[in-house]
Structure 1
Amino acid sequence: MKNNVLQKLLAICLASLLVASCSPRGSQVTEEQGHNRYRHYQLSWPSAAVPDAQTVGTARAEPVRWPVTNSEVEPDQALEQRAQRLLGAMSLEQKVGQIIQTEIKYTTPGDVRDYHLGSVLNGGGSFPGNDKYATPQDWVALADAYYHASMDTSKGGLAVPIIWGTDAVHGHNNVIGATLFPHNIGLGATRNPELMRHIGKVTAREVAATGIDWIFAPTVATVRDDHWGRTYEGYAEDPALVRDYAGEIVRGIQGSGEERFSGDHLVATAKHFIGDGGTDGGVDRGDTRVTERELLDIHGQGYVSALDAGVQTVMASFNSWNGEKLHGSRYMLTEVLKEQMGFDGFVVGDWLGHAFVPGCSNVSCPTSINAGLDMFMASNHDWKLLYSNTLEQARRGEIPIERLNDAVLRILRVKLRAGLFDAPPSARALAGRTDIIGSEAHREVARQAVRESLVLLKNHEQLLPLAPGQTVLVAGDGAHNIGKQSGGWTLSWQGTGNTNADFPGASSIFDGIKAVVEAGGGQTILSADGALPADISADVAIVVYGENPYAEMQGDLKTLEYQAGSHKDLKLLKRLRARGIPVVSVFLTGRPLWVNPELNTSDAFVVAWLPGSEGAAVADVLFRTPSGDIRHDFTGTLPYSWPMDLAQKPLNYGDPDYAPLFAYGFGLTADDTDTLASNLPDIRAERDKVDAETMDLFSARPMAPWHLFINDDDGAETEITGNRHAHRRVRIAATDRETQEDARTLEWLGGGEGSVYLRAWSRIDLSEFLLANAALVADVRLERAADAVVLARMQCGDDCEAEVDVSALFSELPLGEWRQVSVDLRCFADDVDFSKVNTPFHLSTTGEMQLTFSRIAIASATASHLACTD
């Protein structure tokens, strides 16, 4: 094994030409390779064997003994006896209720009492009373109502408190005014495990102020393919860093020693067990095809430290491991996690994850419980059917009583350890404390995290840090946009539909720049498009741009090229450079992306990741003091390798032929001399291009570079970034087809034209699709037939459009059934220049109609097809 490690280390050094010498974990290597200075570049595989890609394919090709963890939460005999007494007093109905968790949108306090429910959750964008602006007191009031219902014995129930879980993944991100930290990818750049404990504690305090007991964090995924839409939820591609962080976050949330589960410490969750960051192609909920040794060495390390720290819950993962769904894997959930590793808390499912196990559905899955799942996450409206089916399966013995008792005992154990029996939420120490939510002390921890997370990739002629006494142009659509800088899982599941007004107490990146520059005697000009008044010139331009918010599934990418097809931000950078203005790029992103063109056009390039609510802290690093001293130096280093070539997929240090543009661990300081060339290869690799036969325009969300709009005949155009909106003639709402909010329901109200359409900010070349005889294809479900003409349009500008009557296509559809429909692209060819299309899909009617769509694409024609001749 030692020889294998040495061979790998040597291969990395020779193949990548990154360093002059390599050393194992424990040393710091500072080397030069042309323009790159690598700091703290550590080769740190946590076990003896470095994964070997050639052994992938067999789940358990060699016996692997998983480590026995040593939980800091020690067994308590008195507590165990109390849990056994409670279990013995329960009816079968009460036991089944305990293993079901429901969503607050579909659960009343009466349901909690009548069904003996063990838990509730609020998903992303779910609030008390469905009110986004619910106050901490509103949250506590609902928590109290559920609690008292769970303790109500008036109908013969047993008093067992409900446990409420929430996705507080970068702060209490569902609550207005909460402190929002950088997403995990930014925290990984800090290389500061001690800071993780502080962040965990702050998060727990703010969650406790709303009466909630349980946090679905930390995510301990080791991400291997950055196409994955949850890349930013992973701390790093290095399993050792994930291991170092996971236990500290858990200690911060749950506390340690006598502080554990005190008033400002809650129950934590290690998620998602296991291998969620290793799916083939980075496809969310896909298949992780690795050996068991790799599963432990790469994807299991966060669980080792989290279990050592005493984490009380583990969330099962949506993904499969070599074809087997983890929600149905007895080997992983029971034999490995519980028996070999010694986990004595409970395993919760993930958002109807049980339904994807073969033979299961939303409302029935004994396989998952028998495999070792202890609590269903039954997050939709039909959870009562799951309850009744599970009850019947337990009565028949399909779910053995021993397995059911074990699941319930684990849930009771955690509730007793957490002190949930002691007092209702409103009587707990921090409940309702509005001074805690977004407090100055909490925000200062977040500002520290922002400062330490910034990674400097380019700094020609040591442009940064800037002198504040200058005229500074601040451009880009991310400069004064707190929602964009915060990313997904922010007040809504996908992080969309928010404005700066939704973040009281927070600051944008521009806010910080303005304060620092004006304090230093300079001037700031905010102009998203980079325009300057004719009588003013700028000494420097700071352009803040990057990815728009997204979360799981909807964030998956086919290419890591930034703004593929449009390059809107690159055009802004080039306009500024053409005017002779030095350009500082501040890049907002949830993953490494191919930005060679943007790097070439920038004098300095800073990766700010997704910094959260404290954007002002970015300026603390970008600018010097008025006296010329460095306020805070750049200390962040890359937690993920940065691609030189789009064909490098996946790209992780330790790979054969590892040759990134910037290696794992790279990051310049202000004093470093940067010699990065400004002529990096900027042509997208042909082998990375998407197949010309298919282009998704909408797949659960608008796919970049397309944006979704609705419009009225009075010109009331609105971009749809949230989950619902209404106009006079048309309204739209997110709904579920197969997964959460993966479809949109459109209702035309009549009385005038209403429209829905997809548009890009620039014109896209779709001529290759026309030549391939492709079609505009949509997955639709007709809810109510149209009573007027339905028109499809395609546009390449105000003076370039074609319109086709598609009424017959929709009139043939059965009501309430999903169908694919398509329109030949040649129907639009006479009047549309396909080399510059900006609106490929536009549907309108003046009458009434209702339909739901989940996917719109340019692809091969379907059976329900409107054909056109040349």
Structure 2
Amino acid sequence: MKNKASFITFSIALFGATGCAQDADSQASTSEQIWPKLPTVVPKDQSIEDKVAALVNTMTLEQKVAQMIQPEIRDVSVEDMRRYGFGSYLNGGGAFPNNDKHATPADWITLAEQMYQASMDDSLDGISIPTMWGTDAVHGHNNVIGATLFPHNIGLGAANNPKLIEQIAAITAKEVMVTGIDWVFAPTVAVVRDDRWGRSYEGYSEDPEIVGKYAAAIVSGLQGRPGDEFLADNRVISTVKHFVGDGGTVGGDDQGNNIDSEQDLFKVHAQGYVKGLGAGAQSVMASFNSWHGEKIHGNKYLLTDVLKQKMGFDGFVVGDWNGHGQVAGCSNESCSQSINAGLDIFMVPTKAWKPLLENTIAQVKSGEISEQRINDAVSRILRVKFRAGLFDKPSPANRALSGKTELIGHPEHRAVARQAVRESLVLLKNNQKLLPLSPNINVLIAGDGAHNIGKQSGGWTITWQGTGNRNEDFPGGSSIYDGIKQIVSANSGTAQLSVDGTYQTKPDVAIVVFGEEPYAEGNGDLGNLDYQRGDAKDLALLKRLRAQGIPVVSVFITGRPLWINPELNASDAFVVAWLLGSEGNGVADVLFRKANGEVNHDFKGKLSFSWPASPDDTNLNVKDPDYAPLFAYGYGLTYSDDVQLENLNENTSPQAQKRQSLAVMQGSVKSPWSLSLHSDGEAIYMDSNTASLNSLSVRTTDRYIQEDAREITFKNDNVAKVQIGHAFPNDMRDFSDSASTLTFDIKLNSNLQANTKVGINCDAACSQGVALGKVLTAEDIGIWKTINIATNCFAQDTDNMAKVYSPFAIASQRPVSLTVSNIVFNKNTNDDERYTCNK
């Protein structure tokens, strides 16, 4: 590697190294020095305090607890809102009005209006308090078709432009307000320490300083600044999340355990709260993770003693998707521990909201929860509602921006998103100064990300995991290919789109767009950072093009730094595009010159995450001892740099080369597969949270985390099949030996039928599959059971696993209901745990 001195870090220092946890005796004595009292940027308004106190004094216990319950739109009706008067409700990722992925802005407004009017109707619950709708607008109003989608946080961190970030947040607030929604679950201020974490792209940086600056900017953009449009008609309530330490769990394990010292918990992981709350954020979301083994949702020291008392936060704390159910001694339906710890609002999707409400009321009556604690929680909720003007504003359908659908995806908003794309791109390699390209050449645009707006946008895009989307789901958006074609065609060049890299006329250059498939929390965790481990199909494409004498520009779509040494070696230029959102045309703005030969837009992006030198460099952060990245924090070339990147080491560690397991469905269905329904000769793909076809239905449901299981119902005597598969075969010979198994978790919801079968590459009835009656009995109804079936049971259907089109399917010709999760291929399963088909 030449010019090694240029591979340096910006001088943005971390606040300290990870240390040992303090013992309980020292905790109280040190907390006074660690956690600051935040400045009062939103002073107490005595008239609001008087209104809050007066209202609380008139409320019944049931009315108070209802303010603390936040159900989800798939599991609560307008009549439920009228009866109970919930303080808030939410739409989870992938949930839409009328359960319609293509719900229009008018549909969103209609539901907001209905819920608001029901909350104000006192005929059943005896009180009129406006409800709030909360939504995950984490890179634009990302649940709504046609909205402007900005780069995910990791890309914005590379841009390092807080003023631009505040502008993005203000635009997001406007588009959210158009649909009648009051409250946004953003910003995420996680400081990511281990890039295996599947939520790495939700972090701005591994450096707390950037995270702190961005937290203040996002909160100011969403809410307005105190004294300047604060919570005005074009602003929403913001949520700083997830308190605290979610980016520092051991092994990058989602919802795992953070074992940092209290000093490092503050200096590394809490700076987003210092700056975000310092900008006036009105809500904080508790984190799924534990701190030294104690779930944050039940940690009184952090939620109450630190956040509310020491730091002086006077807004409310909301839970995260049944996170209270993970607290020791709790369930989704009952958790006094969380309320006593300082949680003010239970986020309780599924029908668990009703028993939770009833149990909480009973716990107050029994003294298990004090009424003082309830009054405090309700006062915090009402304080924010009064500050946000919800008692004075018109109903959602009649607010200032409501229904102004021209603001959804407005050209000015898209222009800002396009600027963010340009500024977030990071140039890692530009040998022989291949870039910028002339716009009048013959360009081949290849790779499965070239013309794929869903892939370039990543998770939290329309659907929760960002899967199941097509380009037509992004009206007004542009793919990377769209932008290239527009520039080249306008300058008498040609643009050939070919995913597999074939062409009719040899191009002057190939731009290959590839990278990670979309994923969200729980589903993106990795074992190591080796890109396409065991299946380097993108590398093969790069090598094939270069072997034909074609210069190659790689554009890498990713939610985190990954080990890509082979792909770097096979590229003449290499650009990290991150997860760029709906405005793919911003990439071409930077890759191509102007017609007169001048640079159009130079690269501005700099790495806000260190880049690994090996697949095992998973916990690699600037200022760490023995810091040795491939590209250091802050690295990023510009067109004025003349840096030649020599061939890099392509050897992986023995551990990285092993493939001991392969996930087919863990939380979501894994790439490249999709779930489809087959019945009566018809087939449909499941691209939302529910799907039905004739005699068959499938819906997502929760087991451990949000939507990590699939409930399958065969309704009659017609042959039907649910299949996970792909149009092209997958080589799975790693799992063809006698000790390998297809492993899955299953719960019978009804009596099992004799002809219900599981199979691989099976026909409509899975006739060559394994009958579930071989591994399950009537006694298993209602309980989860792990099944291990030897893969050689399916050898006749799979050609010894060399060509697997469908790694998992269940078929039945009789009515039956069952739920499956955690579908994995494993090697070396113990003999006594493996069903071997009597072979």
Q: Report the TM-score, using the length of structure 2 for normalisation.
A: 0.94
Q: Could you list the per-position Cα deviations for residues 812-845 of structure 1 after superposition, in whole angstroms to 9, with x for gaps in the alignment?
A: 3533332222222343468866573535734354
Contact 1:216 1:268 in 2 (8 A): yes
TM alignment of 1:731-742, pairs within 5 A: 731-742=697-708
2:329 aligns to what? 359
- 1:733 maps to a residue whose letter is R
1:104 to 46, 52, 73: 73
Alpha-carbon separation, structure 1, partners of 2:222 and 2:606: 25
Alpha-carbon separation, structure 1, partners of 2:674 and 2:112: 38
1:672 aligns to what? 641
2:480 to 509, 532, 536: 509
1:466 aligns to what? 437
Contact 1:710 1:717 in 2 (8 A): yes
1:79 is the counterpart of 2:48: yes
Distance 1:719 1:94, change over 3 A: closer
2:565 aligns to what? 596
Q: Could you list the per-position Cα deviations for residues 844-866 of structure 1 after superposition, in whole angstroms to 9, with x for gaps in the alignment?
A: 54623443210222332587752
- 2:668 is paired with a residue whose SS is coil
155-164 vs 623-632, which deviates more? 155-164
- 1:398 is paired with a residue whose SS is coil
TM alignment of 1:310-325, pairs within 5 A: 310-325=280-295
1:696 is the counterpart of 2:663: yes
1:192 aligns to what? 161
What root-mean-square deviation, in Å, do the aligned CA atoms of Structure 1 and Structure 2 show? 2.5
1:298 aligns to what? 268
- 1:200 is paired with a residue whose SS is helix
TM alignment of 1:316-715, pairs within 5 A: 316-423=286-393, 424-533=395-504, 536-677=505-646, 679-689=647-657, 692=660, 694-704=661-671, 707-711=674-678, 714=681
Alpha-carbon separation, structure 2, partners of 1:682 and 1:733: 43
2:747 aligns to what? 781
- 1:686 maps to a residue whose letter is P
Distance 1:145 1:733, change over 3 A: closer
- 1:402 is paired with a residue whose SS is helix
- 1:627 is paired with a residue whose SS is coil
2:133 aligns to what? 164
Shift of 1:735: 2.2
- 2:655 is paired with a residue whose SS is helix
Contact 2:330 2:337 in 1 (8 A): yes
- 1:131 maps to a residue whose letter is D
Contact 1:58 1:322 in 2 (8 A): no
- 2:44 maps to a residue whose letter is P
Shift of 1:547: 0.9
- 1:820 is paired with a residue whose SS is strand
1:754 to 715, 721, 725: 721
2:789 aligns to what? 823
- 1:258 is paired with a residue whose SS is coil
Contact 1:566 1:762 in 2 (8 A): no
Alpha-carbon separation, structure 2, partners of 1:105 and 1:409: 28
1:174 aligns to what? 143
Identity %: 50
Shift of 1:728: 5.7
Q: Could you list the per-position Cα deviations for residues 519-559 of structure 1 after superposition, in whole angstroms to 9, with x for gaps in the alignment?
A: 111010111111112xx111111111111111000111122
Distance 1:632 1:287, change over 3 A: same
Q: Which runs of 5+ in 2 are unaligned?
A: none
TM alignment of 1:763-842, pairs within 5 A: 763-764=730-731, 766-767=733-734, 770=737, 773-784=739-750, 787=753, 789-790=755-756, 792-794=758-760, 803-810=768-775, 812-813=777-778, 814-828=780-794, 836-839=802-805, 841-842=807-808
1:121 aligns to what? 90
Alpha-carbon separation, structure 2, partners of 1:400 and 1:186: 45
- 2:771 maps to a residue whose letter is V
Contact 1:463 1:604 in 2 (8 A): yes
Shift of 1:726: 4.3
Distance 1:566 1:706, change over 3 A: farther
Q: Which runs of 5+ in 1 are unaligned?
A: 1-31
Question: Paired residues, what number?
Answer: 826
Shift of 1:661: 0.8
Contact 1:467 1:623 in 2 (8 A): yes
659-668 vs 734-743, which deviates more? 734-743
Alpha-carbon separation, structure 2, partners of 1:640 and 1:60: 36
- 1:479 maps to a residue whose letter is A
2:179 to 210, 216, 232: 210
Alpha-carbon separation, structure 2, partners of 1:863 and 1:438: 57
- 1:228 is paired with a residue whose SS is coil
Distance 1:724 1:580, change over 3 A: farther
- 2:74 is paired with a residue whose SS is helix
Shift of 1:445: 1.0
Distance 1:179 1:88, change over 3 A: same
Alpha-carbon separation, structure 1, partners of 2:421 and 2:825: 40
- 1:320 maps to a residue whose letter is S
1:19 aligns to what? none
1:743 aligns to what? 709
Distance 1:57 1:541, change over 3 A: farther
TM alignment of 1:25-174, pairs within 5 A: 34-35=3-4, 37-38=6-7, 41-46=10-15, 50-53=16-19, 55-56=20-21, 63-64=30-31, 65-155=34-124, 157-174=126-143
Alpha-carbon separation, structure 2, partners of 1:612 and 1:115: 39
- 1:394 maps to a residue whose letter is V
Contact 1:109 1:146 in 2 (8 A): yes
Contact 2:516 2:557 in 1 (8 A): yes
Shift of 1:346: 0.5
Shift of 1:811: 5.7
Distance 1:193 1:687, change over 3 A: same
Distance 1:366 1:689, change over 3 A: farther
1:13 aligns to what? none
Distance 1:752 1:391, change over 3 A: closer
- 2:665 is paired with a residue whose SS is strand
Shift of 1:784: 4.6
- 2:389 is paired with a residue whose SS is coil
Alpha-carbon separation, structure 2, partners of 1:820 and 1:733: 20
Q: Could you list the per-position Cα deviations for residues 175-197 of structure 1 after superposition, in whole angstroms to 9, with x for gaps in the alignment?
A: 11111100000000001011111
Alpha-carbon separation, structure 2, partners of 1:94 and 1:255: 31
Alpha-carbon separation, structure 2, partners of 1:825 and 1:433: 56
Shift of 1:638: 0.7
Alpha-carbon separation, structure 2, partners of 1:233 and 1:431: 28
1:856 aligns to what? 823
Contact 1:563 1:705 in 2 (8 A): no
Contact 1:564 1:705 in 2 (8 A): no
Contact 1:275 1:299 in 2 (8 A): yes
Shift of 1:695: 3.7
Distance 1:790 1:526, change over 3 A: same
- 1:435 is paired with a residue whose SS is helix
Contact 2:745 2:786 in 1 (8 A): yes
Shift of 1:130: 1.5
Contact 1:288 1:322 in 2 (8 A): yes
- 1:609 is paired with a residue whose SS is coil
